[in-house]
Amino acid sequence: MSDERRMAVLRAIVEDYVSTREPVGSKNLVERYQLGVSPATIRNDMAVLEEEGYIAQPHTSAGRVPTDKGYRLFVDRLATVKPMSAAEKRAIQAFLDGAADLDDIVDRTVRLLASITRQAAVVQYPSLSRAAVRHVEVIHVGGRSALLVLITDTGRVEQRVVTLHSRVADAELPPLLADLRTRLNAALVSRRVAEARDLLPGVADEVPAPQRAAADEVLAALRDGLTAALEERVVIAGTANLVRSGTDFPASLGSVLEALEEHVVLLRLMQEMAEDQQSGPGGLSVRIGAENLDLGLAETSVVTSGYGEGQALARLGVLGPTRMDYPTTMAAVRSVARYVSRILAQ
């Protein structure tokens, strides 16, 4: 559809329906929008838009509502994503700047997105398939216990407490743990997480035989930490926002909530959107209605963006009804992704 006047009519229908939740008639368009044409011309344009599948009439004698195809055209024709206000940007920065570690960053981010967009927010933890080990700490915490801390170059921190049962003298435990820390950092730092896990048996081989059983216990716990670090994770917040807009899901809000509970579904969706060729301004990816292949999400729209400096580490975004304020939502997702990227780069 190349007619810019009809595009203006479609844009007005989308904006009016998002604002009012009511089907839009030609009279409303004439009264609320300066389209510069007669009511008869608007009615003709609406008829063409309906024939081409961009709008639909939900009930006889009712106005028109955008279809998934209409929303898609509206999003694709957004020349720019409107910037957030200076006050909004300061609020985002102030909320995220106080984060202590990666877990705190993810928690703050998902709650912030849910709050400012009033949708359900989803944040994917940075993928560790490309992450490398930054540091390994082995700390004697008293008695027969040691604290293992694994830190990656993406800011991910995994901790394990291990209680040793092997026969090693209490006096030998602190120097053994200090020696292990030195050996582990020498062997693992800058190695990819999966590679580091495979190198652990070689570290144990270098420990003197009398202390090897104790070293094996420590390394087994560290291996568990490395394995956990490789697990893909997402965090969700704001599902109550979807309940408040339940009338926007004609079929079943329950199917949407069930899909959100399946983290495998969300991880697959994030991966698909990372590979999307149909991206909006600023590298954003938008899935609308039936473009979401999971049937539980067929009445939703999802807006995501990658975050992380250079090659994106993971994605974050929001999920809500197709009757979504796309420009505002896209601006919020883009801004939050940029702030999170800056924080992780520090």
Pick from 128, 90, 60, 93: which is nearest to 314 by CA?
128
Pick from 50, 3, 5, 1: which is nearest to 25 by CA?
50
The verdict on 180 and 260 lying in the same domain is no
Q: What share of the chain is helix, strand, coil (3-state, %, to 5)?
A: 55, 20, 30
Pick from 235, 200, 229: which is nearest to 132 by CA?
229
Asked whether residue 81 is domain-assigned, the answer is no
pLDDT score of 74 more than 70: yes
DSSP string for residues in 45-67: HHHHHHHTTSEE-SSTT--BEE-
DSSP string for residues in 51-116: HTTSEE-SSTT--BEE-HHHHHHHHHT-SSPPPPPHHHHHHHHHHHHT--SHHHHHHHHHHHHHHH
Segment among 1-5, 85-89, 100-104, 175-179 with least mean pLDDT: 1-5
| Helix axes 173-188 and 212-229, enclosed angle (nearest 10) | 50
What CATH number corresponds to the domain at position 18?
1.10.10.10
pLDDT score of 69 more than 90: yes
**How confident is the model at residue 1, as a pLDDT?**
46
What CATH number corresponds to the domain at position 98?
3.30.450.40
The verdict on 105 and 244 lying in the same domain is yes
State mean pLDDT over 113-121. Answer: 94
DSSP string for residues in 133-150: EEEEEEEEEETTEEEEEE
The verdict on 248 and 114 lying in the same domain is yes
The verdict on 267 and 121 lying in the same domain is yes
Pick from 20, 1, 25: which is nearest to 74 by CA?
1
Phi, psi of 175, deg, nearest 5: -65, -30
DSSP state of 192: B
Rounded distance between C-alpha atoms, residue 177 and residue 155, angstroms: 24
pTM of the shown model: 0.78
Domain final residue pick, 229, 251, 272 = 229
Classify the C-alpha dihedral 280-285-286-290 as positive or negative. positive
**How confident is the model at residue 326, as a pLDDT?**
94
DSSP state of 248: G
State mean pLDDT over 149-159. Answer: 83
The verdict on 71 and 204 lying in the same domain is no
Total domains in the fold of the chain:
3
pLDDT score of 123 more than 90: yes
pLDDT digits (tens, 9 = 90+) for 211-258: 888 889 999 988 888 887 777 889 999 999 988 876 777 667 888 888
pLDDT digits (tens, 9 = 90+) for 256-314: 888 888 888 998 998 889 887 555 545 789 999 999 988 889 899 999 999 886 656 78
pLDDT digits (tens, 9 = 90+) for 183-204: 999 999 999 888 998 899 888 8
Pick from 100, 101, 106: which is nearest to 235 by CA?
106
Q: Is 151 helix (H, G, I), strand (E, B) or coil?
A: strand
The residues facing 314 across adjacent strands are 307
The verdict on 121 and 239 lying in the same domain is yes
What CATH number corresponds to the domain at position 181?
3.30.390.10
The verdict on 96 and 140 lying in the same domain is no
Domain that holds residue 47: 4-76
The verdict on 171 and 222 lying in the same domain is yes
The verdict on 238 and 341 lying in the same domain is yes
pLDDT digits (tens, 9 = 90+) for 134-144: 999 999 998 88
**How confident is the model at residue 16, as a pLDDT?**
92
The verdict on 323 and 181 lying in the same domain is no
Asked whether residue 287 is domain-assigned, the answer is yes
